[in-house]
Amino acid sequence: MQFGTLPDVRYGEVQEVAPGIRRVIAENPSKFTYRGTGTYIVGRGEIAVIDPGPAIDAHRDALAAAIAGERVTAICVTHCHSDHSPLAAWLRAETGAPTIAFGPHPPIDPADDDAADEADEEVMDGVKVEETIDLAFTPDIVAADGDLAATGGTGVDRWTLRAVHTPGHTSNHDCFAFEEQGVLFTGDHVMGWSTTVVSPPDGDMAAYFESLRKVAGRHDRVLWPTHGPAVERPREYVEFLLAHREDRERQVLDAVRGGAGEIGDIVSALYADVDEKLHKAAARSVLAHLVKLVAEGMVATDDGGPARRRSVFRAT
């Protein structure tokens, strides 16, 4: 399946992309964010904002202009990566609206090399481009799976957002269903341009598989990711993503069975045709698959412990 493209990106402007849905795209394009973070505005007059976005002054100003004269009653955050949640604090202070999410990021153990690696910032050409963690974010309202996250508006402008817990990319990842329109805002769980990074220890490939199956089993009319274009055939697209992940897992297992015992060896074998700038992210994805395979008894580490970034692996 061909991944979509996001046409006509106009940074600093608000665009109505569907009935009751507007979007402002932050100018933070990168290998992780595609053309940038899409902040969604739901409703008219009385509104909700989904994923306020990164702490970029121009994006803050564009969002402020987009919502001028309206009343923000809910600030929904899919997860607390630094391209999604940081502006929530500013928006809360400006509007008094509560922040709503599954929860904060779990504490990071400084002695855990894998956790520290997940939290590291990567700088390219002087710009931070990696999905770093916003550890300062804690929601005012916790929205667990199936919870009514927020509702507002009247008549044709009425909107209802319900939380759909989709762990995998992060443990605290929520999608938000716009029930009146049959829309699911998918954050980074399903992106419109690429596969999703799953980075242990907080990223969990087994949970990600289950969350993909969960979304595939829903009856949403369209998916709106935070990065990339709308997905207009949700079940077909999500099933494609799941099949791709299952195929990659088979490749990882075959590589281990073929004698590739370290993650670097597996990445070199499986991602030879991928830009080396993406190999660090690929190594995290391979580790996520190995954590799952070790838990399922298909692969073991030489020391008999859990799968770690520096483990040596063998087939069982």
Segment 286-315, tens digit of pLDDT = 999 999 999 999 999 999 999 999 999 999
Same domain membership, residue 309 and residue 214: no
Residue 6 resides in a domain: no
Query: Using 50, 70 and 90 to split pLDDT, how confident is the model at 3?
Result: low
Band the pLDDT of 275: cuts 50, 70, 90.
Answer: confident
One domain, residues 189 and 88: yes
Distance in angstroms (rounded) separating the CA atoms of residues 106 and 109 = 9
Asked whether residue 227 falls in the same domain as residue 261, the answer is no
> Is pLDDT at 121 greater than 60 in this prediction?
no
Residue 125: pLDDT over 50: no
CATH number at residue 279: 1.10.10
Looking at 218-264, which runs of residues are DSSP E strands? 222-225
pLDDT the model gives residue 172: 97
Residue found by looking up tokens 């509702």 in the block: 151
Final residue of a structural domain among 232, 256, 283: 232
pLDDT at 201: 92
Same domain, 250 and 152: no
- 246 close to 216: Cβ distance less than 8 angstroms: no
Nearest to 293 by CA among 260, 276, 273: 260
CA distances from 217 to 13, 32, 174, 210, 249 (A): 35, 27, 16, 11, 22
Instruction: Inform me whether the pLDDT recorded for 130 exceeds 50.
Output: no
> Alpha-carbon torsion 208, 245, 177, 229, what sign?
positive
pTM: 0.92
Query: pLDDT at position 4, please?
Result: 54
Which residues neighbour 89 within 8 Å (Cβ) at sequence distance 6 or greater? 99, 136, 137
CA–CA gap between residue 111 and residue 34 (Å, rounded): 32
- As a whole-number percent, the residues of the chain with pLDDT over 90 amount to 80
The pLDDT tens digits for 149-195 are 999 999 999 999 999 999 999 999 999 999 999 999 999 999 988 88
| Residue 251, domain extent | 245-315
CB 121 within 8 A of CB 161: no
Judge whether residue 2 has pLDDT over 70: no
End-to-end CA distance of the chain: 34
Crossing angle (nearest 10°) for helices 263-270 and 279-295: 120
Residue 124's domain is classified under what CATH number? 3.60.15.10
Encoded tokens for 156: 């044709």
Alpha carbons within 13 A on the beta-carbon side of 137 = 38
Q: What is the pLDDT of residue 113?
A: 62
Residues 68 and 177 in one domain: yes
Look-up of token digits 């990842």:
173
Determine the pLDDT at residue 127. Answer: 35
* Number of domains composing the chain: 2
- Mean pLDDT for the chain? 91
Q: Check whether residue 158 and residue 254 sit in a common domain.
A: no
The 10 Å CB-count burial string (b at 16+, else e) for 65-77 is ebbeeeebbbbbb
Flag the least confident range among 99-113, 125-139, 222-236. 125-139
Given the structure tokens 């990600």, which residue do they identify? 208
Same structural domain, 276 and 189: no
The predicted pLDDT at position 9 comes to 84
- Look at residues 172, 114, 166 and name the one whose alpha carbon lies nearest to residue 142: 172
CA distance 248 to 192: 19
Instruction: Residue 40: name the closest of 211, 223, 232, 238 by CA.
Output: 223
Of 191, 159, 186, which is closest to residue 175 (Cα–Cα)? Answer: 186
Q: For 28-78, how does the pLDDT look when each residue is reduced to its tens digit (9 = 90+)? A: 988 788 889 999 999 999 999 999 999 999 999 999 999 999 999 999 999
Q: CA–CA separation, 92 vs 113, rounded Å?
A: 34
pLDDT value, residue 93: 98
Give me 38's structure tokens. Answer: 């899409």
pLDDT at 129 over 60: no
Rounded Cα gap, residues 75 and 101, in angstroms: 9
> Both 189 and 260 in a single domain?
no
C-beta of residue 169 within 8 angstroms of C-beta of residue 79: yes
- Residue 239 domain-assigned (yes or no): no
Residue 150 maps to a domain: yes
